Amino acid sequence: MNEKVSKLINEQINKEFYSAYLYLEFANYYASVGLDGFENWYRIQAMEERDHAMLFFQYLHNNGEKVTLEAIDKPDCDLTNNMAPLKAGLKHEQYVTSLINNIYAAAFEDKDFRTMQLLDWFVKEQGEEEKNASDLITKMELFGSDSKGLYMLNSELSARVHSAPSLTL
Ligand code: MG
């Protein structure tokens, strides 16, 4: 595998674990204010990010590449109200999309079609992640300022369950 592509995927493993850590911090915030449905939603989001990390981890192994695990940064966020995690979440997903696009560009340049095929799944996944994050903000804007609305929204988010990624390597 091209050295640059391999290095970027290696870095992405760390970024996905960081995403998991960030979302765990969001779950931590919502637990502290008693919104257990929001807490559940972000706990599951954290599990999905770990799944993403493991897909890249396995992909490098499958291709005979060495994986180097680096330190995971402390979550960088300032959670001062119930909307803050949702906005930080959207911003973070937009950033992750840019990272995936960067890896794609490197793979494309190297005519690494196998990696491009892997990344096709992530490109689509990022589209869904950004939509989910954006939809949560919209719902919070619509219903979050009313206690009954917030109660209903919290109940809705408590129903989310974890499912394994639709991608196999
Ligand atoms: Mg991810």
3-state class (DSSP) for residue 162: coil
Calculate how far, in angstroms, residue 49's C-alpha sits from the geometric centre of ligand 1. 5
For 15-52, the pLDDT digits (tens) are: 999 999 999 999 999 999 999 999 999 999 999 999 99
CB neighbour list of residue 65: distance below 8 Å, 6 or more residues apart: 1, 6, 9, 10
> At 169, is the pLDDT very low, low, confident or very high (cuts 50, 70, 90)?
confident
Calculate how far, in angstroms, residue 130's C-alpha sits from the geometric centre of ligand 1. 11
Calculate how far, in angstroms, residue 150's C-alpha sits from the geometric centre of ligand 1. 27
Six-digit token pair at 44? 């599951």
Count Cβ neighbours within 10 Å for each residue of 59-83 and write b for 16 or more, e otherwise: bbeebebeeeeeebeebebebeebe
For 130-162, the pLDDT digits (tens) are: 999 999 999 999 999 999 999 999 999 999 999
Calculate how far, in angstroms, residue 126's C-alpha sits from the geometric centre of ligand 1. 7
Six-digit token pair at 45? 């989001």
Q: What percent of the chain has pLDDT over 70?
A: 100
